[in-house]
Amino acid sequence: MAIYESAEDYLERILMLQKKGISVRSIDIAQSFNYSRASISRAINNLKKDQLIEIHENGTIVLTDEGLKIAQKIYNRHLILSDFFIKIGVPEEIAINDACKIEHDLSEETFKAIINHINKK
């Protein structure tokens, strides 16, 4: 199944909110992105249709095993890239924003090379 960058962003955001101890609902995702709740409705429905999330009767959203796998991969990339950029002198806010931009598109080979470079230090 091909997954789009926006879907990865939603999955990552759900994971990040869960890590903060939030029982995630659509409104929490909307507020965290500063979107209207209606604007994320389609994305949430697509994630559910693709079996990447489940929505409980009380409205809480949880990641399925596959959704969690994707979210953790993107979140891990985000953390490693942000930290790497900060360590090479990029200001923190810029490093975090740049990591968000490339975490989805960076090839596995380049990402592994970055990890190998970090581990050599």
64-105 pLDDT tens trace: 999 999 999 999 999 999 999 999 999 999 999 999 999 988
Query: Mean pLDDT throughout 59-67?
Result: 96
**pLDDT tops 90 at residue 38:** no
Q: Average pLDDT of 42-49?
A: 93
Contact 6, 47 (CB under 8 A): no
Q: How confident is the model at residue 1 (pLDDT cuts 50, 70, 90)?
A: low
- Helices marked H in the chain — which ranges? 5-19, 26-33, 37-49, 65-87, 92-102, 108-120
State how far Cα 79 lies from the chain centre.
10
pLDDT at 73: 94
Q: Where are the domains of the chain?
A: 5-69, 74-120
pLDDT score for 120? 86
Domain at 5-69: CATH code: 1.10.10.10
Number of Cβ within 10 Å of residue 80's Cβ equals 16
Burial of residue 105, with CB atoms counted within 10 A of its CB: 0-12 exposed, 13-18 middle, 19 or more buried: exposed
How many other CB atoms sit within 10 Å of the CB of residue 67?
24
30: three-class secondary structure by DSSP: helix
CA dist 80 and 111 (Å) reads: 9
Average pLDDT, the chain: 92
Domain covering 74-120 assigned CATH 1.10.60.10 in the classification: yes
